[in-house]
Structure 1
């Protein structure tokens, strides 16, 4: 790494293997470490890279690199965590976009501000969380979101977006949609995120794995720390640690189908795991669908399906992005052939 006269932290011909949790090989011609809003503005003023295409990279937990990016890669490393405000009905906490998500969850609990415990151990950074609208065990980021700051990659201006402006959907937000859809994909860098943790705290327990824990322990009124510990134990039991086995967490979104479609699938496969949604539609467990098609533990090239959770694709050592994509497409075709459902990948495939 070198510090240019502009004080930007820049690397040339930088390997991105350590910057994506899949551990896939790729090289950035220029990698810029963003430590604050000012770094983005310095980059935009740079005579060579200011007008060049940009690729924003946080913790690399939601990307599959199939080639060397030609764009200038921005590694978001903005630090910081603080309580912004406390009201009668909520705590408002703020994090730098480069903070690790799980560390942020643990920090709020350590300070007596519960509300994020269901999303413990999700890999990646805080800045990536609103992009993907991450979620787990019955809770989504959108349920706790307050606002965020982002720097426009054209003007260099810092803007604040509230919940409505982020246009959250299931594993979706305005940051994943391109300009044709009125989106901000590739047009801004998230630098700070604020979350609203409501008072009084109420546990979110309507998820099968958590219901099983309550039944096993006899604890039907767990506190936030207990829910946190349960979620960590559940995830560790069936999801691989990216530091040990390269992966991007859940690879496919859980498909949402009509009640008619769900009843049709249940008639053929009574054991399908499904959850009713408030609007009457049903969410199906993508991992169950993949497992039912016989993919758990299978491998194509050096990419495989994790033995303990079919929803997770893994790097068995030396995998390329092309091998991961080949495996993912084979799974999609298999699930569609049996169930008539098209699985949609969660990570961005570059």
Structure 2
């Protein structure tokens, strides 16, 4: 895979600087609030810590699991692999170009904090993705997106550290194999980087001049309500924050991993067939002629909103979100998700694909 090598230290890093913890309760480190224990956890506070892990006489050879904000994770068991808790901080304007601002952020920075920072400093372009939970380092992995924008649309490059050699590299956006909630970082086969590297920093390309991304129903409603037909970036940010807070639960109040299922993409013919049976289904035509269906609408149509399995439940305000209602365990979340999949498949002939990683 083509990549730009970064400068590496000529001598092996000192492994004594690592922060290694044993028997760590992971409940505070996943937004679902699910119980699990990490046998060993290493806090990655700078890129050099990854090299220290690789060079460690015991940790270097052990299986590893990279953990960011835990916002896209369902824990069903304790974790035997060494957990690398990425906590690298820092945001800076790296470069000002004629056509873009290049902003770099540490992988441990909270995503929403980055969005706020860019607006506060006059570098708009991420406002449509406001209030998405998780960290900057996890954003390219999942290719997060909302309201017409995905990370791939704003990404310049990803800085990674190899978990075998400890060497750094800078991967440009075009080698990251971005897809709908997908990237090279989610796969281990065919040149994938899952389990083989750690994202340490991410560079974003924010276009100049700024242009608003509108067209989604919620934004159009806000424009109609306020009479503002040419909103600036801060106005779009405020609208999206308000919309998300109204329909999505705060993970700090009730555990969840955001949207649990991907919105399925079908052919125009498949969509026409489904509309023939369910005329009210919410759908969005795509540029390539395919159609994206609203998974939340289908789940709601199957009667799942508010239903529970043990301590896990379907959120009563948004059927696309599963929540930890009462000390749920990971197995209960998985059982509920599978029941929903079977129900939707039985009615619509479509198999919903979960977004979170199930461990």
Fold shared per TM-score above 0.5: yes
Q: Which residue of 2 aligns with 1:201?
A: 210
Residue 300 of structure 2 corresponds to residue 302 of structure 1: no
Q: What are the Cα deviations for residues 33-92 of structure 1, in whole angstroms up to 9, with x where unaligned?
A: 001111011111111111000000000001100001110000000011000001111100
Residue 225 of structure 2 corresponds to residue 210 of structure 1: no
Q: In structure 2, the residue corresponding to 1:6 is in which secondary structure?
A: helix
Q: What are the Cα deviations for residues 318-345 of structure 1, in whole angstroms up to 9, with x where unaligned?
A: 1000000000000000000000011000
Shift of 1:117: 0.3
Q: Which residue of 2 aligns with 1:14?
A: 24
Q: Which residue of 1 aligns with 2:261?
A: 252
- How far apart are the structure 1 equivalents of 2:102 and 2:169? 19
Q: Which residue of 1 aligns with 2:336?
A: 327
Residue 153 of structure 2 corresponds to residue 143 of structure 1: yes
Contact 2:261/2:353 (<8 A) preserved:
yes
Report 1:123-202 matches (<5 A).
Answer: 123-179=133-189, 181-202=190-211
Shift of 1:5: 7.1
Q: Which residue of 2 aligns with 1:64?
A: 74
Residue 292 of structure 2 corresponds to residue 274 of structure 1: no
| Structure 1 segments (4+ residues) deviating >2 Å | none
- How far apart are the structure 2 equivalents of 1:175 and 1:41? 19
Of 28, 34, 40, the residue aligned with 2:38 is: 28
Q: What are the Cα deviations for residues 88-111 of structure 1, in whole angstroms up to 9, with x where unaligned?
A: 111000000000000000000001
- How far apart are the structure 2 equivalents of 1:109 and 1:216? 24
| TM, length-normalised to structure 1 | 0.98
Q: In structure 1, the residue corresponding to 2:112 is in which secondary structure?
A: helix
Q: Which residue of 2 aligns with 1:42?
A: 52
- How far apart are the structure 1 equivalents of 2:204 and 2:54? 29
- How far apart are the structure 2 equivalents of 1:208 and 1:299? 30
CA spacing shift, 1:5–1:86, aligned 2, 3 Å: closer
Q: In structure 2, the residue corresponding to 1:213 is in which secondary structure?
A: helix
Shift of 1:206: 1.5
- How far apart are the structure 2 equivalents of 1:270 and 1:221? 33
Of 103, 121, 131, the residue aligned with 1:93 is: 103
- How far apart are the structure 2 equivalents of 1:236 and 1:21? 16
Q: Which residue of 2 aligns with 1:112?
A: 122
Contact 2:45/2:87 (<8 A) preserved:
yes
Q: In structure 1, the residue corresponding to 2:230 is in which secondary structure?
A: coil
Q: Which residue of 1 aligns with 2:357?
A: 348
Residue 322 of structure 2 corresponds to residue 289 of structure 1: no
Shift of 1:317: 2.1
